[in-house]
Amino acid sequence: MSAIVRTLKPVPEPTDRLAPKPMVTIDDVTMAFGAFVAVENVQLTVGDGEFLAVVGPTGCGKSTILNAIAGLLKPAKGQVTIDGTPVSGVQNNIGYLFQQDALLPWKTAYENVELGLKFRGVGAAERREKVMGWLAKVGLKGFESRYPHQLSGGQRKRVQMAQALIIEPQVILMDEPFSALDIHTRHLMQNELLRLWQEDRRAVVMITHDLEEAIALGDRVVVLAAGPKSRVIESFPVDLERPRDVAEIKLDEKFMRLYRDIWASLRGEVEKSYASH
Amino acid sequence: MQATNVRLIQLALLVVILGGWELGVATGAIDQFFFPSPLAIVRQIVEWVMDPEFYNHVGVTLGETVLGYLIGTGLGVAAGVWLGLSPFVARVLDPFIKAVNAIPRVVLAPIFVLWLGLGLWSKVALAVTLVFFITFFNAMQGVKEVNPVVLSNARILGAKRTDLLRHVYFPAAASWILSSLRTSVGFAVVGAIIGEYLGASAGLGYLIARSEGNFDAVGVFAGIIILAVFVLVIDLVLDLVERKLITWRPRNGEERPA
């Protein structure tokens, strides 16, 4: 058994596949808050159309990397580029799926999904057509005039997905997007997400602490070290076929092998993070 | 059952108090000069309500209240949102705001009369100084407590500064502002009445002051009761407005779990 586990060595990027052009480049980035260094010298490239999952123990500064890509936080050192353009200030060509409820509670599902287009000055008729299309796509037809508090957690996530994706972002960022949902809803939403992503492949960076989710969804899984001064320690390509079914793929032998391999790398970091807390 | 019981007891209490009062006046145990009989007060109220002149007074007070309220809350919201968005300015102005807020507003009335005369505007000004600070502090707090995740989300979706104001800051502050709007109505009335009381030729406050000048306790009591009803009616109107405006907030039991 353990012999098989060791056969799969982490492969340095780019992967053996037809190397796509890099969409997001994180070049030697350090994120710091005063004297506290969350992540240090992170080097990552996300190809166009690649689904990158980043795993790491809690509190290792995973989210700060996303915020650096989004332009919400400025790196203390290094540079982030999206499609060759350096990031400075809040980016408008990205979709961000937050962990928490990020919908505007005073706007209906329809108005929430509409926001991105409205801010871009898209005309009302075109907006209406697109919003209705997206609400139907995420299975919320007939829920247009509901306020977030009148929707279930899963439905709110669907609205958030439609809200983030309607502007057709170049890059999609996700910060533990489904961690607050119960396990069945989570599987459902993960499949939904894969379906939407498959339609129109964009570069995705997903942060998660759920290794199963990372493997089931990602093309590549990157392991971050325990914080502070977290960095990338290993990168594993996920050679599972698509389209995938999140619940079923976990029974796949390849999946289990990957899980063991990555967990071997992640476990040490998780233990370290517990020891320091 | 319980509810009807409560109502019955309340009614009985009212009858006992008013009946006792009336009886006390009738037997001479209570001095009519200080505590006029409830029936006399009711008669006075009815007399006023039947008199078209009375509505002139109500209209004057209502006008002062509404103007003071609108101007005061408008300025309060604008200033509160502005200072909420610029912590630096807020820090600079903080001691001045505290100092001005510490002045008992009633003492300003003579100055306003001096500046603006005995007419409408001196009362409006007094109401504004009372209303402004309540709305101001609430609006500032509301803006400060905007959910940072919602804010980040809106910025990433492409909101510019004016978009953020319109779609995030104002609605987020709205429930704070609205709750302050409820409280400040009472203050707007107080401002108008005190202004009238100190010097005016019309209005409910003037009516009370005139009765007092004639040692007419019946008139004073009747005026007080009319004022209470006046505030209750305004409060009722605001209640309706609030329910219309904030439809997005969960009412009791309507919240859905995750």
DSSP assignment of chain A: -HHHHHH-PPPPSSPSS-PPPEEEEEEEEEEEETTEEEEEEEEEEEETT-EEEEE--TTSSHHHHHHHHHTSS--SEEEEEETTEEP-S--SSEEEE-SS--S-TTS-HHHHHHHHHHHTT--HHHHHHHHHHHHHHTT-TT-TT--GGGS-HHHHHHHHHHHHHTT--SEEEEESTTTTS-HHHHHHHHHHHHHHHHHT--EEEEEES-HHHHHHH-SEEEEEPPSSSB-EEEEEE----SS--HHHHTTSHHHHHHHHHHHHHHHHHHHHHHHT-
Domains held by chain B: number: 1
Tokens of residue B22, six digits: 């009336």
Torsion from C-alpha of B16, B18, B22, B23, nearest 10 degrees:
10
In this prediction, residue A137 carries a pLDDT of 86
Give pLDDT, residue A35: 83
The closest of A90, A202, A49 to B157, measured between CA atoms, is: A90
- Is the CB of residue A240 less than 8 Å away from at least one CB of chain B? no
Contacts of A163 in chain B (CB under 8 A): 153, 157
Contact between A50 and A203 (Cβ < 8 Å): yes
Answer yes or no: is B3 within a domain: no
CA–CA distance, A242 with A249 (Å, rounded to integer): 10
Judged by CB atoms closer than 8 Å, whether chains meet at B256 and A98 is answered as no
pLDDT exceeds 80 at position B44 = yes
Predicted confidence (pLDDT) at residue B154 exceeds the cutoff of 90: yes
Query: Chains A and B: how many Cβ contacts under 8 Å?
Result: 84
CB spacing of A147 vs B247 below 8 angstroms: yes
Strand order in the sheet with A51-55: A94-97, A171-175, A203-208, A51-55, A220-224, A232-237
Residue with tokens 């996530």: A157
Question: Looking at residues B183-211, what average pLDDT do you find?
Answer: 86
pLDDT, position B178: 78
User: Which residues does chain B have within 8 Å of residue A100's beta carbon, measured at their own beta carbons?
Assistant: 149
Q: Which two tokens stand for residue A240?
A: 């599972």
pLDDT of residue B185 exceeding 80, the answer is yes
Q: B144: distance to nearest CA of chain A, Å?
A: 16
In A151-190, the residues whose Cβ lies within 8 Å of chain B are 151-153, 163-164, 167, 180-182
* 3 state SS of B224: helix
pLDDT at A203: 92
Say if B11 falls within a structural domain.
Answer: no
Q: Which residue of A has its CA nearest to B150?
A: A102
User: Does the distance separating the beta carbons of A92 and B156 come in below 8 Å?
Assistant: yes
The Cα B177–Cα B79 span in angstroms is 12
Residue B23 to residue B10: CA distance in whole angstroms? 19
Mutate to test the interface with A, among B153, B163, B166 (most CBs of A within 10 A): B153
- The Cα A24–Cα A169 span in angstroms is 13
pLDDT of the residue at B257: 46
CATH number of the domain bearing residue B71 = 1.10.3720.10
Asked whether residue B16 is assigned to any structural domain, the reply reads no
Q: What is the mean pLDDT of chain B?
A: 86
Rounded distance between C-alpha atoms, residue B204 and residue B216, angstroms: 15
Is the Cβ of B163 closer than 8 Å to some Cβ of chain A? yes
Q: Are A60 and A269 in contact (CB under 8 A)?
A: yes
Q: What is the pLDDT of residue B179?
A: 79
d(Cα A23, Cα A31) in Å, to the nearest integer?
21
Reference B195, options B129, B101, B98, B100; nearest CA is B129
Q: What is the tens place of the pLDDT at every residue in B91-139? A: 999 999 989 888 888 888 888 888 988 888 999 999 999 999 989 998 8
* The pLDDT value given to residue B67: 93
Residue B254 lies in a domain: no
DSSP three-state, residue B150:
helix
Q: Is residue B22 part of a domain?
A: no
Residue B73 lies in a domain: yes
For residue B225, being part of any structural domain is answered with yes
Contact A119, A68 (CB under 8 A): no
Over 80: is that where the pLDDT of B10 sits? Answer: yes
Instruction: Report the alpha-carbon distance of residue A255 to residue A238 in Å, rounded.
Output: 8
Residue that the structure tokens 């019981």 belong to = B5
pLDDT value for B258: 43
Interface pTM, i.e. ipTM: 0.84
Task: Indicate which of A73, A97, A104, A152 best probes the interface with B, i.e. most B CBs within 10 Å of its own CB.
Answer: A104
Q: Identify the pLDDT of residue A19.
A: 63
**pTM for the full model?**
0.74
Each residue's pLDDT, cut to its tens digit, for chain A (277 residues) gives 444 444 444 545 444 455 678 899 999 899 888 888 888 888 999 999 899 999 988 776 788 889 999 999 899 989 999 988 898 888 888 999 998 889 999 899 999 999 999 999 999 999 999 999 999 988 898 999 999 989 998 899 999 999 999 999 999 999 988 888 888 888 888 998 898 898 888 899 999 988 999 999 999 999 988 878 888 888 999 988 888 888 888 888 999 999 999 999 888 888 888 777 6
A102 Cβ under 8 Å from any chain B Cβ: yes
In a domain, B154, yes or no: yes
Q: What pLDDT is recorded for position A207? A: 92
DSSP bridge pairs for A29: A42
Region class of A244: left (phi > 0), else alpha (psi between -120 and 50), else beta: beta
Q: List all residues 6 or more positions away from A134 whose beta carbon is below 8 Å from its beta carbon.
A: A113, A162, A165, A166
**Contact: B154, A105; criterion CB under 8 Å:** no
Chain A residues close to B169, C-beta within 8 Å = none
Domain that holds residue B152: 39-245
Q: How far apart are CA B192 and CA B170, in angstroms?
A: 28
Structure tokens at A39: 């992540």
Least CB–CB distance from A149: residue in B149, B174, B254: B254
Per cent of chain B over pLDDT 90 is 24
